[in-house]
Amino acid sequence: MKAFVFEHPGIENLKKTLEVPVYGEGLRVRILKTALNPLDFNVIAGNVVYGLNPMPHIAGSEAIGELLEDGNALKKGQKVIIYNRIYDSTCPMCIQGKEYLCLNGGIWGVMTNGAFTEEVRIWEKNLVPIPEYITDIQAVSLPIAALTPFHALMRANARAGEKLLVYGASGNTGILGMQFGRIMGLDVYAVSNSQKTETYGPVKVFPRNGIPDDFTADIVINPLGSETWGDSIKHTSISGRMVTYGVLTGREGVTNIPDLYTREKTIIGSTGGALAELHKILEIMKYHQIKIGVDRIFPFDELPEALAYFRDGRNGRVIIDHEL
């Protein structure tokens, strides 16, 4: 089986290897498409804090595939989304439906090999059937790009009529955060330098350095880390919530503590999302169109070129088609 394997950090060290045995446990799944995220890039570049396992490693954490054998409920030929959290179903977090916080778990593609290959084995409990009303491009954007901002909005207890401000709006998670905000009845604002951001629905776009000084929102989604940390708390309303799930520009941030307590602002950490939330997103998509802006689709053999393209700036999703 063909896979992209690396032993040392760096895209340049990715090796297309032809004789890799199918790894993992559970059902055999042929990978159809993967989508690139900062996570994959950071895993390959050696920038993640979690230990990679195994080494040499195969990255890739956002994928869809097709079952190559029958499971209990799912049958051979079924197209599936891979819910990319390894979880034991028994720890206190899993029992609360928080598989993404499993005490004995982690991210598929990080603590295990992932999707940059032709075929994997994975437990049936990680497989979500793709309904016929969802395209493959939409489906491959659900386990990370959609689930993460959806969960962030749930964590912030978003309520219709509230104002939402999304930082990094033209990014993978940003475009979906804005759209879920609209669907939930929020008044959506975005921080973005991309012309394309306005095409994701009725949204008022501020350029990166152009948020009016006195503007505040009830909910602020900001996964950008250091560069915008203080700014995003400033633009959180009295009694508002700022949610973070990333550190794109750095891990440290300066907080104006009196501003935080005198206005009763809340800073919320969020990560990934629950399997039940992934199912909720599919329900929502029965009734609401979700737009995925695709910048470019690469054939599987060009994964290293795709990662370099992803790193050097893009406007929309970079997808790997494993059938090309």
Ligand X SMILES: NC(=O)c1ccc[n+]([C@@H]2O[C@H](COP(=O)([O-])OP(=O)(O)OC[C@H]3O[C@@H](n4cnc5c(N)ncnc54)[C@H](OP(=O)(O)O)[C@@H]3O)[C@@H](O)[C@H]2O)c1
Q: How far apart are CA 304 and CA 59, in angstroms?
A: 12
Alpha carbon 311 to its chain centroid, in Å, reads 16
Q: How far is the CB of 105 from Zn ion (least distance, A)?
A: 5
Helix 172-183 to helix 147-155 angle, to the nearest 10 degrees? 50
| Residue 91 interaction partner, one of Zn ion, ligand X, none, beta carbon < 5-8 Å per kind | Zn ion
Is residue 245 close enough to count as binding ligand X by CB under 6 A? yes
Give the one residue of 34, 61, 148, 179 binding ligand X; rule: CB under 6 A: 148
Q: Which is nearer to Zn ion, 102 or 205 (CB)?
A: 102
| Residue 208 interaction partner, one of ligand X, Zn ion, none, beta carbon < 5-8 Å per kind | ligand X
Task: Report how far apart, in Å, the C-alpha atoms of 17 and of each of 6, 13, 182, 322 are.
Answer: 10, 12, 44, 15
Is residue 88 close enough to count as binding Zn ion by CB under 5 A? yes
Tokens 């799944």, located at residue: 29
Pairing state of beta strands 79-82 and 63-67? antiparallel
Stretch of 45-53, 87-95, 157-165, 189-197 contacting ligand X, by CB under 6 A? 189-197
Is residue 34 close enough to count as binding ligand X by CB under 6 A? no
CA-wise closest residue to 229 among 211, 242, 213: 242
Q: How far is the CB of 315 from ligand X (least distance, A)?
A: 8
Query: What's the chain's Rg over C-alpha atoms?
Result: 19
Q: How far is the CB of 207 from ligand X (least distance, A)?
A: 8
Q: Which residues have a Cβ under 8 Å from the Cβ of 213 and sit 6 or more positions away?
A: none
Q: Which is nearer to ligand X, 64 or 274 (CB)?
A: 274
| Residue 259 interaction partner, one of Zn ion, ligand X, none, beta carbon < 5-8 Å per kind | none
Q: Which is nearer to Zn ion, 122 or 156 (CB)?
A: 122
Helix 303-311 to helix 38-45 angle, to the nearest 10 degrees? 110
Is residue 60 close enough to count as binding ligand X by CB under 6 A? no
- Amino acid in position 102: C
Q: How far apart are CA 251 and CA 233, in angstroms?
A: 15
Is residue 39 close enough to count as binding ligand X by CB under 6 A? yes
Write out the two tokens for 149: 């901002």
Q: How far apart are CA 66 and CA 198, in angstroms?
A: 34
Q: How far is the CB of 170 from ligand X (least distance, A)?
A: 3
Is residue 222 close enough to count as binding ligand X by CB under 6 A? no
Q: Residue 274 burial (CB < 10 Å; 0-12/13-18/19+)? A: buried
Taking residues 265 to 304 in sequence order and writing x for each that binds ligand X by CB under 6 A, - otherwise, the string is ------xx--------------------------------
Q: How far is the CB of 109 from Zn ion (least distance, A)?
A: 18
For Zn ion, the binding residues (CB under 5 A) are 87-88, 91, 94, 102
Interaction site with ligand X (CB under 6 A): 37-39, 144, 148, 168-174, 192-194, 197, 208, 223-224, 227, 245-249, 271-272
